[in-house]
Every structure is written in structure tokens, then in C-alpha cells.
Amino acid sequence: MIVFHLTISSTVSIAQAPYSLPGGSPKPSLSPPFRVIKCAYWPSFDGFPLTSIDTSYFTHLYYAFLLPDPNTYNLAITALDEEMLPLFVSTLRAKKPLVKTILSIGGAGNDPKVFSAIVNANSTRSTFIESAIEVARTYGFDGLDLDWEFPLNQQDMINLGILYKEWWKALKIEAKATGRTRLLLSSAVYYASTVFKYSPSPKYPGESIRKYVDWVSPMCFDFYGSWDMVTGQPAALYDPTSNISTSYGIHSWIDAGVPPNKIVMGLPLYGHSWKLKDPLVHGVGAPTTGAGGPNNGNMIYSAIVDFNRGQNATVVYDGKTVSTYSYVGDMWIGYDDGRSVTKKVEFARVNGLRGYFFWALGQDKDWSLSNQEDTKTERLNASNCHKSASHLPSVLPFEPAPPGEHIGSSSSAAQTQGVFTLQDVGSKLQILTVNMGEVKTRLGDIDTRLGAIDTRLGVVETKVQSLR
């Protein structure tokens, strides 16, 4: 893992003022009321039974993955896919509550250069788009998802922006021609708006995403793993010493011009394990000799829970990073548990994100992480925004619209009492002007104190476990 030298603050924005796109033009952080999204990816190769999925915890479920043929650029459908695609859709359609189904294309196993070739010309983009729409409609999906890991250079990013635009246009044309509801379009992306793993580091086309994608899904995990020779938190919410954190990544997307309500934050249902070089040195950053087990040290959450109990491992909650680790002997595991997932969900809500997703469905124990928050019917409005942040300092207070008035939209469907947006914010809503430098300092102090409290609680928890 390359450590990036950009130091960031670990503070949380309680409510967001209008952000600016390049050029200084203020844009709204929220649109008219939207359904909060809670997704999960179902790997067709993983074997988790479709009939065992509890859809009450989700709004959208992804089929992972189909790959483009490297020669024709049409979607390649394997024998397994021929069996699983119709089964995935039909099984989920029979469940209550109903969820949207999305077909994901790509994944970590796909050669990123194939996508580079696809987006490089109008003809190849057209072939790919037509094939994706045809397959989605044939099997009855509600949407399509692009998981390109990752665009290799800035030209790839420029071409990706063109692909989004042409894909969006094709989806609208197809929907109008057939009289069907337009297919959704989402895109799984790097945790930050700049892909730091490459040099020079390419930047995603924020403007194209804002205009032509329903939402993007930053993959906020795998920050550290067995490829690093020291232990680290694989999905830290905060890291006050670097830009390797979920909070940095999410805010980089917003700074790139992507509205918060087009961001669906990624959460892992797995962790990474290491073999400690010295069992007596077992904190974050401890030297290691490699992976702590098979699969390059990857462990799904249910296996981590069983391991901790079976081996009587010491479990430590790290309040500074909002993550958890456990150790016993020379084994060290970094992961998210219920406490850290709950805090991340709160982070998503407080920052006005569209929602969050899990990789991968069924990897937690008895849905113990998936059930941390039920958002299937929630709509982000003034009342629940105040409720979710009621225990936090009010930095930028927002007021509901007066009865009968909807702020910032002339749409009759949006004339909902109490719903707030930031459309036409300058004329419709007065926002308290605050000194943001002072606010960040105060929030930083609060965050530090909470981290200290959480660390102490972790020590107490460890002592209690040792007494059992």
C-alpha cells in the first residue's frame, strides 16, 4: 500500500452548505425527496442461496458479474449465467418486500484494458451499450451497473464520461420507444474521485456523473491488506494521518462536483488478516510476515465472529478510525463490526448521501451488519435530518418549507410539506453563515474526545472478555 502524504481532517460535516462546481457555480447538495438506497452485491459464483436472502434489509440487489467479451465487446453469458440470471430475478421478484434488481458488469476479475478499448471509440461504445440494454431487458433487470476497476489514465476518464452520456441517452431512447420505465444506471468506482494507485493519478469525470448517472458507488474498503507488511484498518472511516479513509474519499467526490444524493457509500462484510511478526506487538501498524490465512488473508465477517469466539481473541474497537480489530497469538484481523457500521451509516445520513451498499451479500452473520439500519421506506427530509443529527452540534441548521411551499422545485409531484432541497438556495433558503475553520476545529476536538472514549470502552470490553 502506498501511503499518500495528503493529511486530512477527521471531522464530520453535520449538514452541508451548497457546494461549488469548478467555476464557482453553487449547486444543491440535495434534490427533491428521494428514496434512500441500501444495496448489496450478490456474487453468482459465491453460492449463497437466493432463497435465503431477506429483502427487508435492502432496496436494490446487484447480480455480480457479467463480463464483456474482449473481442466483440458484447456481454458474455456463461453457462452459469444462463442458469443464474433468470433465477436471480424471478426469486427476488417473488419476495416481499420487492427490491430492484441491477445487472453489474465488470468487477475486479475483469481486465481493465478491455473497458479502455470499449470506451475508446463510438462504434465500440455503441456495441457495448446495445448489448447491455438487450441483456438487461431479456432477463428482466431494473438497471445496469458498470464496475470498471479502474480507468488507467486521464484519457480513459474522458472516454468514460462520454460512455456515461451515450449510455444515458440510449436508456432514455429505449424507454421512450418501448414504453417501459427507464433502466437505472449506476457505477462502482474507486473510493476517491482520484485514482491514487496509478501515477499520474487520473480523475473521474464528475460533471458527466452528475448529469448522466443515477448514482456512483465508491468502494470504501481494501485500504490495507496482506500486500502490506504492517497491520492496517481495511475500511477506516477516518485516518487523521493520510487520505486513505472513507471520509476523505466521500468528500473528494463531493468536491469533484458529484452531488451527495448521487453517492452510495461502500461497506465491506469482510476483513483482512495478517500473521504478526511479533505476537507481543499487536496494534495498528504492527509488523507482519504476510497473510493470516488462505484467500490472501480475506475473511468474511461471519467467519471472523466464529474465529474470535472459538479462539477467545482479544477484540479492540478503534474509535479514532471507527473500525475494529482482533488478535490472538500471531493472528491479527482488521474489519468492521456492528458498532463501526452503525457509525458509518450515520456518517452517510448526516452528509446527505443517497445511501450505502455492502460487498458481499450474506457474508455477515445472520444479517447482523445488514440490519444495522433499515432505510427501505425512508425519505431524506428536514424532520429526519434533524432527528438523525439531534445528538450532534447544529452547524448549518435547515428549516422545513412552510406549509404548502416546496423549496426549489416547481414540480407538482414535489410539493411535499416539510421537504427541503437546496435548489435556488440563494433566494429560497437563508443559511447561517459560520466560520468553517472554527467549526472544523471544534468538531475535530469533539471527534478526538469521542475517539478517546471509544478507545477506553474497547479496553473495558477487552477486560470484560478476559474475565469471562
* Amino acid letter, residue 137: R
CA distance 344 to 372: 10
Looking at 82, 130, 134, 149, which residue is catalytic? 149
In sequence order, the 6+-apart residues with CB closer than 8 A to the CB of 97 are: 55, 56, 376
Q: What is the DSSP letter of 55?
A: G
Residues 398, 429: Cα–Cα separation, whole Å: 8
- The packing angle between helices 338-350 and 246-255, to 10°, is 20
For residue 149, indicate whether it is catalytic. Answer: yes
Q: What is the DSSP letter of 413?
A: G
Minimal CA–CA distance to 268: which of 302, 242, 308?
Answer: 302
Q: What residues contact 107, with CB distance under 8 A and at least 6 apart?
A: 64, 65, 67, 147, 149
- What is the SS3 assignment for 268-334? ECEEEEEEECCCCCCCCCCEEEEECCCHHHEEEHHHHHHHHHHHCCEEEEECCCCEEEEEECCEEEE
Rounded to 5 degrees, φ, ψ at 166 are -70, -35
Contact 309, 292 (CB under 8 A): no
Residue 340: C-alpha distances to residues 272, 334, 344 (Å): 16, 12, 6
The catalytic site residues sit at: 149
